[in-house]
Each structure stands twice: as structure tokens, then as C-alpha cells.
Amino acid sequence: MQDNKQCNGCEQALNLLLKKAKDDKVETVWGRALAMQPQCGFGEMGVCCTNCSMGPCRIVKISPDGPKKGVCGATEDTMAARNLARSIAAGSAAHSDHGRDIAEALLNFVKQKRPIKDKEKLKLLAEEWGIKSCDDDTENLVAKVAKTALDEFGKPFGHLRFVERAPKKRKDIWESMNVVPRAIDREIVEVLHSTHMGCDADYRNIMNAAVRAALSDGWGGSMIGTELSDILFGTPAPHEVEANLGVLKEDSVNIVIHGHEPTLSEAMVIAVNDPEMIEMAKKQGAESINLVGMCCTGNEISMRHGIPMAGNFFQQELAIVTGAVEAMVVDVQCIMPSLSQLAKCYHTKLITTSCKAKIPGAIHIEFDEIKSIECAKKIVQEAVINFKNRTGNLLIPKEKSKGKVGYSVEAIIKTLDGVTNTFAHPSGTVKPLVDAIKSGVVRGAAAIVGCNNHRVPYDKCHVELARELIKNDVLVVTTGCGAHACIKAGLMSDDAVKLAGKGLATACGLLKIPPVLHMGSCVDISRILHLVSMVANYMDVDIKDLPIAAAAPEWMSEKALSIGTYAVASGIYVVLGVSPQVTGSENLTKYLTSDMEDIYGGRFDIEPDALKAAGKIINHIENKRKALQI
């Protein structure tokens, strides 16, 4: 286990709250991780199987004695591949179910005759999908787009519509490998079927199914979630927000909204600004109601409404430890079950809202999209009346930072238009970015995404990697918990240009952007796929030919495995800071870190040291530049 060091700007706040947690005699993720040591070696290597009741079976790798096959005869390759594929399918399911919920929300907006925020994006998506529109019938168009999106989950024929955004050379590779995603649910079901006891035992074939399920996430469920969220709630544009737990206010009712889906958080934004709710808070002795965002919900509402970003995955418990949170409101994904017990040690109310994610000990207020504002007000009322129950055991760290968020693909294109010579070239293209890369002013680009994990120093890996890359003129884009880490460290501020290399600093100065661009939540990695496809199509090359890379230095979830797999299968070099649980199979490990490059042009690499990871990414980018002769 590593130490708790993180970015310089955040370390003091972290240490303060860890000390308070110790003084208050409450446990956190760090203490539980320590108590878990040593962790199961069979599980770490992926050679434990519980797929049938003849097991659990495990394969002994460290000595010549002990079983080398499961009771059914499954080898280490079969076990490790099955386990990995099932995790990838689960990650794809989580992202894609999020996308389905957004599509259903879009349909509900029509039924309730509620306005959408981005009609232009609706028309462009309808045109892309071949849906005819009439300018004066937005409701009909919204309904058609929503139903078409929902069909992507279970249609019996054809392939996913967003696959057409990929370059032709990429689609040819997918077709040759028979991994073009058909319908989202079908790909996830097929992985679960093929990895059932007595089915697929060929690790390569198992991984083919897993790749197709992952692609159905990146080029399907996640992309649907992103595009339709923009249509519903507005396409993000750059603006400044505050970040870190210092955004909590001592004199206000603090509500932390945590999870992933924007339907709940959008309703909460409306509810906390309702005069009736504000007046109720004042009657309880508070100055106002302070809504802040945690994890990917924090990304969602910061980039559309400027709501402060309280923190990432490892800060959810620390927010409650401050003693200043009246309610933590959660929906789905990355919510620690420990929160309900922790909340009882303070006055915080933990409120679950999704039938998919209930936690014993929490208050459950089911979120109803049809009555979204009423539900949100009920939740806010719970928080407001809880203000009087605050004790004097408060510690809100002073540390907070500022940075720019909201670089959607549309916002990036608009920014690039600002330096386009419109007399010579059309606007609305990625030409200025391509020119900067070709000239070498910007050497390439890297995505830093993912979670927090006790196996590596908290936040430090995100921040050190980003700093080293921008110092070497590599533009960084980021989402999810990586984005929280970067904004807390000041890397999304205009001042961060001082940390960039001369070339990148020049480009950032011209475009008036920070060297690390915030592109949203974890489903919004689909924005990155869209952008690299636009660049590849403009340069008439495949994605694998571009001087780009990706990294997940602190990943931990099944969603991250799905993301990494669809990125590799899209032709991207992906560096992981934490090894997947596959090392018990030398063949599968080699497949992921070497063979996939021969097939897809992308591969996984494992490097826990952030500076070494940066070196590998820079070498990869320079090799791609040489191949392109730029």
C-alpha cells in the first residue's frame, strides 16, 4: 500500500480531515484498505473462479504443487479471461444503463411538454441519424430521436449508429474482427452467456466478445448519454468554477449531490434556487442553501451550471467528516456503502434516490422524473430542517481552487474558430488543432481519466502525469475523478500555462485555454472519441495513427475496464497505473499488452509511476509523429 500523498494544493485539506476522522473515531477508505492487507493473491491474479457451485476454484501459480485447472477443467487463461470479460460487461452495462435513462428522460420531456436546452444539437443529431425534421415541430423530433436512441439497446439487426462516426479504416478493422457492436444489450448479454460455465474456453474469443461489449459502451451507451444530456440540459461551454471541500459553507445548508446521472442533479439545481426553499433555510438560521457536486455528478452540474466541485471518489467520506453537510444525495455508481454508517456519526442525512442503488441505513426518496422538481424539493426540505441538528464539531478546510470547465467538442471547435482564417478556410473544423500538431507546436494529446485507488498515492498520479505531459507540450484532456484532481491542483486555470512547454503555452495563449481541458464526466469520454475521430477523419488517417494516448493512473471500477478496452480497440495506447486482475494468465496479459496492438493498433501498458508513465506516453507520441512524418 502506498502513502497518502497527493497534489500540493490539496494535501493539507486531506490531512486535516483524516486527523479529524481519527479524532472522531470514524473509519474511512484508507483505514479499511489497510485492514484488508494482504489482499487475496488468487483474486489479484484473476485465477479464482466462482462461476458455478463446483467452485470456488483457484489455480496455484507460485508453486508446482496445487491445482492447475478448475474442477471443470478451466485453465488459468479461461478463468482470467472470463473474469475480465464479465467485469468489462458490467462496466459497459453501468454506462449504457445511464444512457438509456437519459433517453427515457428525453422521451418524458416530450410527454410533459417541457422545453429542451439545445435545439440545434437535436437537429444535428436527427440529421446524422437520418431522421426527418420539421422546424416547427420540435416535440415530434425529440420523440423520434429519443425512440431511435432507445432502439439502439435492443434492435435485432444492423449495428450501432454512432459507429459511423469512426474513420473508415477503424471500421474496417472492427469488421475484420467481427466486433462491430450491434445492439448494446445484446453485446452485454452475449458476454455473460459466453462466460457461463461450459461455454467459451478460448481466451482470445472471450476477449473478442468483451471488446464488442466495450465498444457498445463507448460508441453506444456512453455516447447516447452524452449527446442526449446535452440536448436536454445544454451543451457545456467554458466557464470558471471553484473546487475542493473548501467550497462547503459554515453559514449555509450544505447539500452534496453525488453519483452520475444528470436528471436528478438538474432538478436539484432548480429546487435549491426556489425562493420558498431559501426562505425555509433562513428560518432555520442559515444564510442560504449551498449545493455542491461530488464525483461525476460534480462534473455534470459544474460544466452546465457553475456549481462548485466538492471532490472526487475518495473525498465522499471526508465531506461528511467535515460535520457541515446537512444531506448527501446520491443516485448511482461509485457511492461507498460506508456512507450510511458514517453519516450516523454526524448529523448528515444520506438520501438515496434510485431503485437501482439503495443502501441500508439511508433515507430513500425515490426520484420520479415525471415529478422531478417536487422530488427535488422534498429532498432539499430534508436537508434544510436538518440544519438545526448541526453540532459544533465542524471543520471545513480553507483550501479551494479555481479552474475552467465545460470543454465539450462544440466548445473546442468554437474556440478553434477563434484562430481560423475564415477568408481562406471554413470555420467549424479541427484544422487549427491539426495544424498545431503537424507543426510540432503541440506534440500531441493525452486523456487522463479514471478514479481513485488506495493502491497508488491519492490524486498524485493524476496531477504528476498531467504536469509532466503539459511540460512536454502535450495537450491534456480529462474527465471524471481525474478532472477533480487536476482542477484542485490548479491545472485548469489560465495560470497553469506557466507550467506548459513553450509550444503548448503559445497555443494556449492564442486560444485562451488552460493546458488541461475539462471534458466532463466518465460517460463523456465519448466526447474524446468523437473529437479524435474528427481529427483522424480530417487528416484522412486512422485513430491509431494519431499522436495521442490515454491514461487511467488511479482506476478502480469495472466501468474503467470497459473504457480502457474500448479505447484500446479504437486504436489508442492506454497506460494503467494499477494492474488489472489478469496477471495469473501470461497469455491473457500478453494479449492485452502486446497482441491487441497487432490487431487494433492500441494496447494496454501498466506503469504505476506517474513520471515513467509520462515518459512512455511521450515516446509513443513521438513515434507516431515519426510514422506520420510530421
Pairwise CA distance, residues 249 & 140, whole Å: 44
- Both 507 and 606 in one domain: the answer is yes
What's the mean per-residue pLDDT of the chain? 95
158 with 284, same domain: the answer is no
Q: Is 193 annotated as contributing to ligand binding? A: no
Distances (CA, A) of 488 to 9, 225, 241, 243, 309: 7, 26, 11, 6, 9
Residue 421 in domain? yes
Mind giving me the DSSP string for 435-501? HHHHHTSS-EEEEE-----TTS-TTHHHHHHHHHHHHTTEEEEE-HHHHHHHHHTTTTSGGGGGGS-
Q: Clarify whether residues 330 and 420 are in a common domain.
A: no
Strand 327-330's sheet: what is its strand order?
Answer: 363-364, 349-352, 327-330, 253-258, 289-294, 309-311, 239-243, 401-405
Contact 345, 24 (CB under 8 A): yes
In tens, the pLDDT along 232-288 reads: 999 999 999 999 999 999 999 999 999 999 999 999 999 999 999 999 999 999 999
- Percent of the chain with pLDDT strictly greater than 70: 98
Q: Is the peptide bond before 181 cis (omega within 30 degrees of 0)?
A: no
Domain that holds residue 183: 76-233
561, part of any domain: yes
> What tens digit of pLDDT does each residue of 570-600 get?
999 999 999 999 999 999 999 999 999 999 9
Residue 42 lies in a domain: no
- Averaged over 444-449, what is the pLDDT? 98
Say how many C-beta atoms besides its own lie within 10 A of residue 248's C-beta: 23
- Do 193 and 260 lie in a common domain? no
In a domain, 44, yes or no: no
345 labeled binding residue? no
> Which one of 212, 233, 254 terminates a domain?
233
Are residues 215 and 92 located together in one domain of the fold? yes
> Does residue 6 register a pLDDT over 70?
no
Residue 40 labelled as part of a binding site? yes
Domain boundary among 358, 389, 420: 389
Q: How far apart are CA 245 and CA 298, in angstroms?
A: 12
Residue 199 assigned to a binding site: no
Do 95 and 217 touch, CB atoms closer than 8 A?
Answer: yes
Mean pLDDT of 317-345: 97
CATH code where residue 360 lies? 3.40.50.2030
- Which of residues 598 and 7 earns the better pLDDT score? 598
Residue 72 annotated in ligand binding: yes
Give yes or no for residue 104 having a pLDDT over 60: yes
Alpha carbons 568 and 510: distance in angstroms, whole number: 32
Cell of 497: 500555462
Question: Is 49 among the annotated ligand-binding positions?
Answer: yes
CA 307 to chain centre: 18
CATH number for the domain spanning 130: value is 1.20.1270.30
Domain count, the chain: 3
Q: State whether 528 and 464 are in the same domain.
A: yes
Q: For the chain, what is the radius of gyration of the CA atoms?
A: 24
Tell me the C-alpha distance between 214 and 191, whole Å: 10
Do 225 and 256 share a domain, yes or no?
A: no
SS3 517: strand
Q: Is 366 exposed, middle or buried (0-12, 13-18, 19+ CB in 10 A)?
A: exposed
* Cell triple for 243: 473546487
Per-residue pLDDT, 113: 87
pLDDT of residue 10: 67
347 is in an annotated binding site: no
* The one-letter amino acid at 339: L
Q: Is 7 annotated as a binding residue?
A: no
DSSP for 271-308 reads HHT-HHHHHHHHHTT-S-EEEEEEHHHHHHHHHHH---
Q: Are residues 187 and 285 in the same domain?
A: no
- Tell me if 522 is assigned to a ligand binding site: yes
Q: Which residue do the cell numbers 467538442 mark?
A: 409
Distance of alpha carbon 438 from alpha carbon 629, whole angstroms: 9
Range name among 9-13, 102-106, 365-369, 501-505 with the lowest pLDDT average: 9-13
Q: Are residues 223 and 250 in the same domain?
A: no
Q: How long is the chain?
A: 630
Instruction: Tell me, yes or no, whether 114 lies in a domain.
Output: yes
For residues 362 and 339, is the Cβ–Cβ distance under 8 A?
A: yes
Picking from 233, 265, 293, the residue at the C-terminal end of a domain is 233
461 is in an annotated binding site: no
Report the C-alpha gap between 494 and 477 in whole angstroms: 15
User: Is 87 inside any structural domain?
Assistant: yes
Q: For residues 572 and 552, is the Cβ–Cβ distance under 8 A?
A: no
Co-location of 138 and 102 in the same domain: yes
Q: At what angle do helices 76-111 and 184-194 cross, to 10 degrees?
A: 150
For residue 112, name the pLDDT band (cuts at 50, 70, 90): confident
Average pLDDT over residues 6-11: 59
134 marked as binding residue = no
State residue 376's pLDDT score: 97
